[in-house]
Amino acid sequence: MPVPKRQHFIPRMHLQHFAGPEPKGHVWTYDAQTGQARHTIPEETGLESHFYSVESDDGTMDTRIEAMLSEAETRAAPVYGLLLKGETPGETQDRMNFAEFLALMYLRTPTMRRMNAEMIGRHMQIMCHAYGIDDRAFDAMLQRTGEATRRPPLTPEQKERLRRDFIDPSGYKFQISRERTLEVLGASEQLAPLLFQMTWSIIAPRRGFFVTSDNPLIRDVDPATRHPIYGDHGFLNKTAQVLMPLSPDRLLFMSWNKDFSGKAVCEPNQVDGVNRALAEKSDRYLYAHAYSKELLELSAEFKDSRPQMTTEGFGLSIGVEY
């Protein structure tokens, strides 16, 4: 059986609903980094070589994660069709299947894998800073490391240099393995039940159309509920509103508001607001069924706004690569 080397970070099942008539069956990709637009068929859009593969010790690529994602898409496909018709599933297995698909859509993207790498790197930097500013903790860490590695003790000059680097990591970068960033997919087990419980609504535009992106499921909360230390409690925040475009003329809207369900129509300014939010929270790409100079400009406007993982109060930040 051939190994699926070319893997979609945005599923073909999603992108195919954004294929347009000119050229027929093609999706337009708006690239914020290059400022250019191109069109390709869904099979050739939103993919990267071995994006979900894990390299084994013998050099072969383990593609079981890609297979798992494909199975989740297959289970969700019938519900996707119903949602496009304006029908939302009740508290059934179909609803859970699509909630699982939505959770994975949120977690499988380049955005979330990059932010997971940033979180891992930031945690490592926080630990280094904590050791560097505490004499006893620093000496205990060096002793444990020496016993584990059986290396000779550091000289006083080496210890002082290491301590300075722990406190001020300027000029350093943590390299996080791509495989480790896949750990973020495990959060789908907690996220899917939350999405299942939220109220689902289907929104249609009165005029205009929705786009999608390489980070298509987005969440927003009332700014007043954000705490400077504890954050906004994510999807548990009762003011959370979750959006995912399903096609140019259908948007899935989820919230904890039990009074808002079924179908609704949004005005052109609201459609523009959704598209701007998708552009702002995209990692690099917007996708649409048609070419538009306005979308090219919108993509470029948010070139440097992709989501970042941030923490405060623990010394200087350090660069992270994965």
Q: Is the pTM of this model over 0.75?
A: yes
State the chain's mean pLDDT as an integer.
Answer: 89
Q: Over the range 152-189, which residues count as b (16 or more CB within 10 Å of their CB) and which as e?
A: eeeeeeeeeebbeebbebeeeebebebeebbebbebbe
Q: Write the pLDDT tens digit of every residue in 50-87.
A: 989 988 888 889 899 999 999 999 999 999 999 999 99
| Residue percentage of the chain with pLDDT more than 70 | 93
User: For strand 36-40 and strand 24-31, is the pairing parallel, antiparallel, or unpaired?
Assistant: antiparallel
Measured between alpha carbons, how far is residue 235 from residues 91, 231, 310 in Å? 19, 11, 18
Residue showing tokens 């470029």 = 300
Give mean pLDDT, residues 276-300.
96
The string of pLDDT tens digits covering residues 13-32 is: 999 999 999 999 999 999 99
Looking at residue 58, the DSSP 8-state letter turns out to be T
Provide the pLDDT confidence category of residue 321 given band limits of 50, 70 and 90.
Answer: low
**Tokens coding 39:** 């069109």
